[in-house]
Amino acid sequence: MLLPHSSRSAVFHSPVWRRVIPRRAVTPIRILTTTRRYQSSDASVDKKPYYITTPIYYVNAAPHIGHLYTSVLADVVKRWQELKGNEARLLTGTDEYGLKIQQAATIAGVNPKTFCDTGAGTFKKLADTANISYDRFIRTTDPDHQTAVEQVWRVLREAGYISLKKHSGWYSISDEAFYPETGIEKTIHPPTGQEILVSKETGKTVEWMSEENYHFNLSSMGPKLLEFYDKNPNWLLPSQRYDMLKAEVSRGLEDLSISRPRERLEWGIPVPGDPSQTIYVWLDALINYLTFTGYPYTPADQTVWPANLQIIGKDIIRFHCIYWPAFLLAIGAELPKQILSHAHWTMSKKKMSKSDGNVVDPFHAIKRWGVDTMRFYLCIDGGISKDGDYSNQEIEDKYKKYLGSQIGSLLTRVCSAKYSVSDAVKCEQEGRKVELNEKMSQLYNRLRYETLDGLRSRVDGRMEVMDFSNAIREILDVVSETHKYIHATQLWDAEQAAIRSYMLYPAAEALRISGILLQPFMPGKMEKLLTLLNVDAKNRTWEKAVLGADFEYGVSASGTKAQVFPRFPIKEEDM
């Protein structure tokens, strides 16, 4: 949703865009000065890449399994779009400013930039290790990000959304956020037994703070946000969190403190025109999604904005679904198309915490189980509405049940030494017919015309609503039915080679199509599977993921000893 034309005029129809950008940046880059900026026409929306983002991860602590989960979901969405033939872009990165970083660097005895370099390097390593196909790993310390943040600040100020005033409230250093009186509660600090005040939402300690800083006029944005929510009923998934969000905004919003005195917070972007203040980390951090698009310089017909999907954890909904759209509305920008908020991971139904020693190291998990096994597990067991419960036993069980005994075993059975996939494909291509008894005919028709028909559409329907777990299960159901088919038809005992080839074809197709559709979830393993099946790289596409779309694949009747999912325990070289 865009602001009404009259509301945008103060921002775009004054010479703001030309006047506020530093002269040094103007010469080599085209500067936009009209309302077309970040208001894509229908034509440009159709042409622009599908744009996905993860939150940028805070570098004050090591990555945990939740970071890996978010990144994997985003990567699966990107790869799914690319499988469908759509150009896609994925942004991830690190959030590096703020009081927490300043304090952590001091404790570590290094300057903040050095501290951030180390943390960012760790998160980037995780993305690479998990085979995340990001297009940019952004850092909020990047120079172009500072330019984007300064520009947003200037536009907000020129439009009258920023004012300087004294602010008092309950502040959490951990969350880098002020909370209202209704948002805090008393609790007992376990290590000391002392009574402390914490945020109801995050459980982080708060302290009373009073200072003069800049505020964003968030209190005026409630009606605009509610109007947008009403017109976009599927904007925030899942729906129950959307209902809670609407209720919170309906109760009224307070103006938002968006700067800190520089005497207290030096590690951050200075407020343009007022070096005594530092821009609040959440305003700064959220702008990264625009920075990637080339804001404020990229022409309207070349930008990837708006984001098609922004994936976040449920704990940062306020920042991404109240503050972020409010900032965008205030600068006259189009809002993201959809926000997916996923649940968290627990262990033994208990929240993960360092003090309890139940935090999962994602690097260790990938080393132990293999990257694609972890990607598969996170997608099939991860929670969107409800928390997922992490279990090493569940990973082992699912590996054995689904990956080894189902997908891996089907490859072995289809590529048996007793018959030839190549002959089966050739038989179908040439249209050969064979006489079948009623039982065999029924089995053949059920697998071919009922089970396989529409598989691609069923999986796509699940992915449209971000139902990752059931998207995988749609494919696993077909794999399971194919095993039953092979057992019931007893292909290995067929008297005539022609019958074996004819009956083998839908089983081979089930394996081929399943392998294609599973590529976004397990790209490495499915590349190996499709290669063993001799499916050409050019035929591993959306168009080919239907029955009878590829007559170029197949292996001879020599069988395959190669295993995509070897028996447990897994050797490191087989991961």
| pLDDT string in tens for the chain (575-residue length) | 333 333 333 333 222 232 333 323 322 222 232 233 333 333 334 579 999 999 999 999 899 999 999 999 999 999 999 999 999 999 999 999 999 999 999 999 999 999 999 999 999 999 999 999 999 999 999 999 999 999 999 999 999 999 998 777 787 877 767 777 788 888 887 667 778 888 887 788 888 877 889 999 999 999 999 999 999 999 999 999 999 999 999 999 999 999 999 998 999 999 999 999 999 888 999 999 999 999 999 887 889 999 999 999 999 999 999 999 999 999 999 999 999 999 999 998 888 876 677 789 999 999 999 999 999 999 999 999 999 999 999 999 999 999 999 999 999 999 987 889 999 999 999 998 888 999 999 999 999 999 999 999 999 999 999 999 999 999 999 999 999 999 999 877 766 778 888 999 999 999 999 999 999 999 999 999 999 999 999 999 999 999 999 999 998 765 666 789 987 666 665 55
What is the CATH class of 5-342?
A: alpha beta
pTM of the model: 0.87
Tell how strand 259-261 and strand 274-279 pair up.
antiparallel
Long-range CB contacts for residues 451-455, cutoff 8 Å, separation at least 24: 451/477, 451/478, 451/481, 451/482, 451/510, 452/478, 452/506, 452/509, 452/510, 452/513, 452/547, 453/547, 455/513, 455/514, 455/517, 455/545
Residues 170, 216: contact at Cβ < 8 Å? Answer: no
- Nearest Cα neighbor of 560 from 525, 532, 526 is 532
Question: What ranges do the domains of the chain cover?
Answer: 5-342, 371-574
Contacts of 133 (CB under 8 A, 6+ apart): 75, 78, 79, 90
93 burial (CB, 10 Å; 0-12 / 13-18 / 19+) is buried
Residues 444, 482: contact at Cβ < 8 Å? Answer: no
Q: SS3 of 95, please?
A: strand
Out of 3.40.50.410, 3.40.50.360, 1.10.730.10, 3.40.50.170, select the CATH number for domain 371-574.
1.10.730.10
Query: What distance lies between CA 177 and its chain's CA centroid?
Result: 24
Residues 259, 214: contact at Cβ < 8 Å? Answer: yes
- Whether the bond into 569 is cis, omega within 30 of 0: yes
Distance CA 331, CA 480 (A): 52
Residue corresponding to tokens 């017109």: 231
Q: Count of alpha carbons within 13 Å of 40, Cβ hemisphere only? A: 22
77 burial (CB, 10 Å; 0-12 / 13-18 / 19+) is buried
